[in-house]
Amino acid sequence: MKEALLYSIRERFWTLAQGRAKIYMGNILIKSNGNTIEVHEGISAKEVLLRAGCDPKDLVAAKVRFRGEEGTWVLKDLDFRITDEAEVEPIYVHTKEGLEILRHSTAHVMAMAVKELFPSAKVAIGPAIEDGFYYDFDYERSFRDEDLPRIEAKMAELVKRDIPFRREELEIKEAIRFFEEQGEPYKVEILKEIEDSRVSIYRHDNFVDLCRGPHVPSTSYLRAFKLHKVAGAYWRGDERRQMLSRIYGMAFATEEDLKEHLQRLTEAQRRNHIRLGQELELFSIHEEVGPGLVIWHPKGMMLRYLLEQFEIGEHLKRGYEMVRGPEILKTELWMKSGHFDNYRENMYFTNVDNQSYGLKPMNCLSHMLIYKSKIRSYRDLPKRYFELGVVHRHERSGVLSGLLRVREFTQDDAHILCTPEQLDGEIKGVLSFVDDVMKIFGFSYELEISTRPEKSIGTDEEWELATNALKKAVEDLKFSYEINEGEGAFYGPKIDVKLRDALNRKWQCATVQCDFTLPERFDLVYIDQYGQRKRPVMIHRVILGAIERFVAILIEHYGGAFPLWLAPVQVAVLTVADRHIPYAEEVVRLLSEKGFRVQPDFRNEKLGAKIREGEIQKIPYLLVIGDKEVEGRSVTLRQKGKATLATIKLEEFVINIEKESQQKGVGYR
């Protein structure tokens, strides 16, 4: 009887493989390598994992899921005590969760170092971010780059001391009193907004910080970090609040990982789109024009044109119709849509003839009015309206950055109006479109589904329907995804596509948004097969996103060396002497008639200087014309990325370049 009871307990309360434990309290049972071990109540998460066969090397924290809360994993420190039925899994430092914990712990150690070196500094917040961390400080002067080596040296000293991180819980009033006594007003402000009755703090030696945790067991786990930048940051991002000093750092599991990251940063600087944009004569931004406003130079405008023509062709192939709306619309329309209440801080407004207008930050209103211009049948749907629409958004000056963040930009915006039954297929169609385009440019990508934000419109039922529609489409297509809580658009949830470039950096570009709300507000209808008025669903979507931003990403992805089909100048024709100009002009004319983008360079300069300039401009082909080329009706070519010169017949070169242009970018050149 006793053996039978034990068996039933095991069957019900543990599913134990090596490295994972499911625990029945009273008699805690851990199965590892076929053996069942009984342990005491109150055992630490670390001991549970070690007894379950986990490798202690690089173990930094644990995931715990309590009975009755299936599906909810909670991250805990390794010294967390198990006092209830639960499952426990390890978190290793090389995992996404492990690196985030490592980086947040490093931020705490940096704050401790700053407080030891600059005792009057007040601490604000210090989260982990991708590849590292930052911490904001209020000090009598702004921190400078020359302060970083000193702070970093102090951090190394604290790491060597192997100081343990200790978690404590305090009543909220006690915590407020403690940080008031410590002279930390930013922590007090945060605490006064917390609704919980108790909060956690972490101590390492004499430094105490307000934090949910978890953290690595001790400072010795922080093996590879570097401080690299100081910037200003308003408290809570509010320009009306105190300007703080933000210190950025990097942290990795190993020195090798940090070294690789520093090498990527060096390469990223070499590929920086602002620097390359000037060198390649693509665009400029002038203070006298205004921040965040781009002037496109001839080569940059050609690059834009090529992208836009490519996009138009791809949309027409997929059944989209091209449309265009005005750049300003009456403010009453923005009120009706909900933009005025939920988005106006990002908009510009003006008055004309005593009438208020808003510059459009999005293109959806005009597209809905096009749909509403006539009665629509279910047989007309789906309607796919596409616009390369110029929009304006009021971005804060502190976040403007080259082409990546601007105030005027062009979106490859489309709105699909369809029946609820068509919704699944249309979402999948957009995702397939995204996949096709990302492959053309050589991007891998990840998906996030962003859910309802606090500031939003529509009913809970509409949001649930929209969110489930996005999830189903993604899951049916076998894409993995993450949930980004509370980051949806104010009118609906969305799929965000995060592409990865040649340096493995993530960029937000394409998005698919599912909207049941705006069709209701604008009374959009169609007549179904039974003659009944029904409400369509609207999908908001972009493929590249903002053209300006995508150009910036392409510049850095390719390092300015665009593939042949996308290069603003595909061929440069260089003469050795003036007597070679007539034949060179013939070469330019022939290539231009074939549709290639050709740049003549007939200057009275040394050939070596012309070649160097062509290489700096990253032109795919440089054609040298001298005596032997004139005599043999040939060209000597230097191909981008190759040091050797080859002399071939002009006709052969034309055949080769036509073939290459068709192979790059699915036939576009």
| Segments making up each domain of the chain, as ranges | 2-91, 97-268, 298-325+361-558, 571-663
Q: Specify the pLDDT at position 524.
A: 96
73 contact partners, CB below 8 Å, separation of at least 6:
63, 64, 65, 89
Q: Specify the pLDDT at position 70.
A: 63
126 contact partners, CB below 8 Å, separation of at least 6:
104, 107, 108, 110, 111, 133, 134, 135, 136, 209
Q: Specify the pLDDT at position 304.
A: 96
Distance (Å, rounded) from C-alpha 480 to C-alpha 447?
Answer: 7
Q: What is the mean pLDDT of residues 444-450?
A: 93
Phi, psi of 241 (to 5 degrees): -100, 180
Per-residue pLDDT at 665 exceeds 70: no
With cut-offs at 50, 70 and 90, classify the pLDDT of residue 14.
very low
Answer whether CATH 3.30.930.10 is correct for domain 298-325+361-558: yes
Distance (Å, rounded) from C-alpha 261 to C-alpha 252?
Answer: 9
Give the pLDDT confidence of 629-658 residue by residue, as tens digits.
Answer: 999 999 999 888 776 778 999 999 999 999
Distance (Å, rounded) from C-alpha 219 to C-alpha 203?
Answer: 11
Distance (Å, rounded) from C-alpha 619 to C-alpha 569?
Answer: 6
Fold equal for 298-325+361-558 and 571-663:
no
Global confidence as pTM? 0.80
User: C-alpha angle 658/659/663, rounded to 5°?
Assistant: 115
Per-residue pLDDT at 29 exceeds 60: no
C-alpha dihedral over 168, 173, 176, 179, to 10 degrees? Answer: -50
Per-residue pLDDT at 27 exceeds 60: no
Q: Specify the pLDDT at position 398.
A: 74
AA identity, residue 194: I
Give the pLDDT confidence of 563-618 residue by residue, as tens digits.
Answer: 999 999 999 999 999 999 999 999 999 999 999 999 999 999 999 999 999 999 99
378 contact partners, CB below 8 Å, separation of at least 6:
419, 526, 527, 528, 529, 534
Can you state the angle between helices 185-192 and 172-181, rounded to 10 degrees? 160
Per-residue pLDDT at 668 exceeds 80: no
Does residue 366 sit in helix, strand or coil? helix
Give the pLDDT confidence of 474-485 residue by residue, as tens digits.
Answer: 999 999 999 988
| Closest of 398, 386, 396 to residue 314, by C-alpha | 386
Q: Look at 40-49, 374-383, 417-426, 645-654 and tell me which has the smallest mean pLDDT.
A: 40-49
Residues with catalytic roles: 364, 393, 411, 413, 415, 494, 540
Give the pLDDT confidence of 108-125 residue by residue, as tens digits.
Answer: 999 999 999 999 999 999
Give the pLDDT confidence of 79-114 residue by residue, as tens digits.
Answer: 999 877 778 889 999 999 999 999 999 999 999 999
Can you state the angle between helices 96-117 and 148-160, rounded to 10 degrees? 110
534 contact partners, CB below 8 Å, separation of at least 6:
378, 419, 525, 526, 527, 528
Output the CATH code of domain 571-663. Answer: 3.40.50.800
How would you class 334 by CB atoms within 10 Å of its CB: exposed for 0-12, middle for 13-18, buried for 19 or more?
Answer: buried
Q: What is the mean pLDDT of residues 233-242?
A: 87
pLDDT more than 90, % of the chain: 76
Q: Specify the pLDDT at position 590.
A: 95
Per-residue pLDDT at 280 exceeds 90: yes
Output the CATH code of domain 97-268. Answer: 3.30.980.10
Per-residue pLDDT at 423 exceeds 80: yes
